[in-house]
Structure 1
């Protein structure tokens, strides 16, 4: 046996006998869920939208260590139908004041600068597109199509086309115009096979029905993975009252938690109607569910598959979220404490 054969045999022996020792310095593959949040994000104090988006973003940022955040999109929605990136950047200024404390608990918390770099503005009534709130209010051609791309829709395309085997979850809190525009652009500039590949990477979670592009996505793309929550998200409403929020989140928990509004359109306390659009991924991290199967019990609610499609729609109802209240609220409280500990 020559020296090269001996070396080969010895290396194989080490690999088979002590694999952890050989692999310990090898970078691990990021198994976190990739996500882009698109929110009709208002200024705060809130004057032109629903305060529950601010509630949800506080919770989301406290979970940003568990997700591979690839975009924060400010889209148009609710009343004024404006999209202003400066509002999200203002929240990140508050996150910037607590993120070092958060990283003492988990080094994977992104820096505020990293999140600023992936914050994008969509189009709305403040920059050239007239959007009406709700479904059935206008032709979809009014809000998506030629010349209506934005930095947000372009960022969605770029993220989906990365050489990454993981699907891209798009958590839609406001109107889905930016997602729809991205898909429109790909459909009109690429081959059918390229469009199919693009769509196969997307996992879209729609909260309510906020503009005409919602109906377009549901009707035009039956094979596109969509969770449509028209009512199930109500199970998040009033998970706790104002007294609980003030004690455990708002007061004495640092600048980020201090901006959490004590009430929203649906009433006082925890409303967070948009939060289920990412809680399904958090419970998946706990081993509770496979997010590819929305019929399974999970923190984001259970849905039933619409026959002949890759769409999941309201099924058992809001109780499939509210029954997990004690679990996700205990974690929320703990993470708020991390901001000051």
Structure 2
């Protein structure tokens, strides 16, 4: 028994939550009296222990203590929703990313919308700053007061939220969040950058968090302009020797929603060593950016018929999001809702992304390096890639926006579920995420396996469970695009054969297929590999560039 958390229940028994091996559940200690009734006040003659694990297994041993109790699993007994486990049975995290938000809130409603959603996920982040900034859309003022209004709504629900998350990862208090709200300069772009420019409280907080002794990266999520970041980077350059300044920049992970002032391109050119995710396109041509996949298909007109817009309509949002003390602070959208949200969707711990690998994809999109040479001006700049996704109309769409809208149904359902958490203090009144285990690996961290081409491998998720006692369904599929190195994925990445090993697909076998055909592989091994894509295509029998 690795860890326990005692909960004293009224008079009859004491329950503790234990991790026994890989099985997380509740161990109940019943005191049985001579009258054969559970009563903590009567003369105890025996002890009975009952183990409620994720699979509903029931265990009974008597005359033991928890210190030397050895549990023998027997007598399957379904848990069901009428016997939901507590918050200790929910998913835990190994760590949380450090996050710092720069927002031009109140230039339009979308920043406020994104902040509402962000707060509902704030138990997954170590938030270290929320700074109001300018942008090309709001050049002469900043609006921290509007951040406080949303945090006031959060204050009314944070206790409810904490009844729906693992006790090791509580939501931050409203007071903590209020202390993190600061302001940048109320000027546009480079008007606020220079060695002669004073530092605002927003500058100082960001500088302090970069200089902090933590070894964990600091994710700077930019929902507006970048002049606060630019001024802090200039300050670091002037303040420290080159090697120390470089080591501080190495801590940064920046994700910006395109370029919204005239300092962004300068940052990428002046400091190409910074890990920097951003869609790059002509000025103000936002319909070309990956992040618009969050909800921009109707407004910008891309991928018509592919994304399902039903859970982005104002009527759906009114019914499912704009309810309760926090949800009611979510304003009606004007252009597209939540354009800034992909910055933190990228960091949400759901098992679909790896922070240091934008090319793997996530709810926040999929990005790849723009320069692989190591000699360019943007050595660590990640920009848009594409995914091929079957849309709502059954057709396949290939676009950068598809790397985000492919997940829309799921991230909107998750948003609505968290709104329900904010409304209900009772754990049983809302739904909660399944707890994932694959091949005895618990949690959302990447499962990395070294295997030979052509080798079979079994993925076993049978230990996964639902903390509400709901049944689980399993879907296994091959995400091809992260493996590819060029546009024509089908010429580079072969299909995997996936075989279900049980009726509900809890266990599957993947047969790893050779990427190249035998003739092409043999040529490569003999040192006569093709040296251009046309020869590769010919080797695959794909002379037609438009071959299916």
> What's the TM-score once normalised by structure 1's chain length?
0.81
Identify which of 336, 346, 349 aligns with 1:280: 346
Counterparts of 1:259 and 1:60, CA distance in 2: 13
Deviation, structure 1 residue 226: 0.2
- Partner of 2:321: helix, strand, or coil? helix
Query: Pairwise mapping of residues 193-212 of structure 1 onto structure 2 (< 5 A)?
Result: 193-212=243-262
| Structure number with larger C-alpha Rg | 2
Describe the shift of the 1:163–1:30 C-alpha distance in structure 2 as closer, same or farther (beyond 3 A).
farther
Identify which of 93, 101, 109 aligns with 2:160: 101
User: Does the 8 Å contact 2:367/2:383 carry over to 1?
Assistant: yes
Cα deviation code 1:103-128 (max 9, x no counterpart): 1112510110000111111111xxxx
Identify which of 39, 49, 62 aligns with 2:103: 39
User: Does the 8 Å contact 1:279/1:300 carry over to 2?
Assistant: yes
Query: Pairwise mapping of residues 76-91 of structure 1 onto structure 2 (< 5 A)?
Result: 76-81=134-139, 82-91=141-150
Cα deviation code 1:214-259 (max 9, x no counterpart): 1111111111100012401010015521111011111xx3121112
User: Does the 8 Å contact 1:40/1:78 carry over to 2?
Assistant: no
How many equivalent residue pairs?
291
- Partner of 2:263: helix, strand, or coil? helix
Identify which of 151, 169, 181 aligns with 1:119: 181
Identify which of 294, 311, 315 aligns with 1:243: 315
State the match for 1:303 in structure 2: 367
Between structures 1 and 2, the one with greater strand share: 2
Cα deviation code 1:266-294 (max 9, x no counterpart): 4xxxx211000111111xx1222211111
Identify which of 166, 171, 191 aligns with 2:216: 166
State the match for 1:332 in structure 2: 415
Describe the shift of the 1:168–1:303 C-alpha distance in structure 2 as closer, same or farther (beyond 3 A).
same
User: Does the 8 Å contact 2:361/2:367 carry over to 1?
Assistant: no
State the match for 1:290 in structure 2: 354
State the match for 1:73 in structure 2: 131
Structure with larger RCO (C-alpha < 8 A, sep 6+): 1
> What's the TM-score once normalised by structure 2's chain length?
0.51
> Aligned-pair RMSD on alpha carbons?
2.1
Structure 2 residues without counterparts, runs of 5 or longer = 1-20, 22-65, 68-91, 281-288, 297-308, 387-399, 425-548
- Partner of 2:356: helix, strand, or coil? coil
- Partner of 1:105: helix, strand, or coil? coil
Structure 1 stretches of 4+ moved >4 Å: none
Cα deviation code 1:173-221 (max 9, x no counterpart): 0101111111110001111111111100000001021111111111111
Structure 1 residues without counterparts, runs of 5 or longer = 1-17, 23-27, 43-48, 133-139
State the match for 1:152 in structure 2: 202
